[in-house]
């Protein structure tokens, strides 16, 4: 899908910098998950008696772990898996809802989004109807609540330093209108050469559609989640991580040494590897409640 949509793509400058939006350029991940996705999840799935453990699992999976940045629907499966394993939930005698049909759907569906889930719900699958209701309510909460959030300090300064040197592409799994509104609201859309959203394909596909127009090592992806790094590495392009919890420091580093090294050809190798090691250190792969055992 991605390559076909990039058939008419043209580079205007010698370098390309791809930037993720949510949680990377903008501090929107915390409010979306803590105030929108998770409260809607507790409400729609009827998890009020174990809300403490739901919040802990949701925030670990979506914000503070190697699972950060995955599809909302994959995270649902992960959260239910963790809740099933929690001794505290078992001791409360709480019976988790059976989501077997959703699990099967996730394993076999060629595409997972609101439309494909709606098609299953309309066949009478109550579990799929619940998943759809949660996803739609989450979207509504986000539309009502998430606005007026500025970019992290260092983002605009980085765009200014790259102006006239590198094409800027937004590469995000967010819907295109939300991206355009956000970048326009904060007067950054004028620096964007290409806006790539969920409608243009995966991040891997979007990078693949643009990278042939640039020289090797002239393409860089900036992201805050392991999935961003995977998309970069699968395409053989450079990666600069924005470390969760250390976003301001990360952008300050990119605006200085990161940009210098990217443009002078010394980014790849020891420097990039040191950035990735620091990135991995802030994203644990073991839930915090496991350490309490």
Q: What is the pLDDT of residues 171-224, one digit of tens each?
A: 998 888 889 989 999 999 999 999 998 888 889 999 999 999 999 899 999 999
Look up the CATH number of domain 2-27+152-281: 3.40.50.1000
Per-residue pLDDT for 286 more than 60?
Answer: yes
pLDDT of residue 241: 98
How far apart are the C-alpha atoms of 63 and 54, rounded to whole Å? Answer: 14
DSSP state of 26: B
Tokens at residue 76, please?
A: 């649902």
Over residues 115-143, the mean pLDDT reads 95
In sequence order, what are the beta bridge partners of 238? 220
pLDDT for res 2: 45
Query: Can you tell me the distance from the alpha carbon of 213 to that of 195, in angstroms, rounded to the nearest whole number?
Result: 16
Q: Is 37 left (phi over 0), alpha (psi -120 to 50) or beta?
A: alpha
Cα 76 from chain centroid (whole Å): 15
Structure tokens at 283: 């994203």
What local confidence, expressed as pLDDT, does residue 3 receive? Answer: 52
- Which tokens go with 128? 């799929």
On the question of pLDDT at 285 being above 50, the answer is: yes
C-alpha–C-alpha distance, residues 263 and 165, integer Å: 8
Higher-confidence residue of 71 and 102: namely 102
In terms of pLDDT, which residue wins out, 144 or 2?
Answer: 144
Give the model confidence (pLDDT) of 33-44 as tens digits: 999 999 999 999
Phi, then psi, of 9 in degrees rounded to 5: -70, 140
């Amino acid at each position: 899908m991605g390559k076909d949509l990039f058939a008419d793509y043209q580079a205007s400058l010698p370098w390309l910098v791809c930037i993720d939006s949510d949680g990377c350029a903008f501090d929107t991940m915390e409010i979306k998950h803590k105030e929108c996705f998770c409260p809607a999840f507790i409400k729609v799935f009827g998890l009020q008696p174990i809300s403490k453990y739901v919040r802990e699992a949701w925030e670990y999976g979506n914000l503070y772990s190697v699972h950060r940045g995955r599809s909302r629907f994959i995270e649902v499966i992960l959260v239910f898996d963790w809740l099933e394993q929690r001794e505290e939930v078992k001791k409360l005698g709480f019976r988790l809802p059976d989501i077997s049909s959703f699990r099967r759907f996730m394993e076999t569906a060629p595409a997972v989004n609101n439309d494909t889930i709606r098609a299953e719900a309309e066949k009478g699958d109550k579990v799929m109807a619940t998943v759809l209701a949660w996803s739609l309510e989450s979207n509504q909460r986000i539309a009502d609540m998430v606005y007026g959030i500025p970019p992290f300090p260092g983002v605009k300064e980085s765009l200014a330093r790259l102006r006239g040197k590198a094409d800027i592409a937004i590469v995000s799994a967010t819907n295109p209108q939300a991206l355009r509104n956000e970048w326009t609201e904060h007067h950054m859309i004028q620096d964007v050469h290409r806006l790539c959203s969920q409608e243009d394909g995966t991040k891997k596909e979007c990078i693949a559609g643009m990278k042939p127009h640039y020289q090797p090592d002239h393409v860089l992806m900036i992201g805050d989640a392991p999935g961003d790094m995977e998309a970069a590495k699968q395409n053989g392009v450079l990666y600069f991580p924005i470390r969760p919890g250390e976003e301001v420091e990360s952008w300050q580093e990119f605006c200085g040494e990161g940009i210098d090294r990217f443009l002078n050809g010394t980014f790849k190798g020891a420097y990039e590897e040191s950035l990735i090691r620091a990135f991995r250190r802030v994203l644990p792969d073991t839930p915090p409640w496991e350490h309490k055992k």
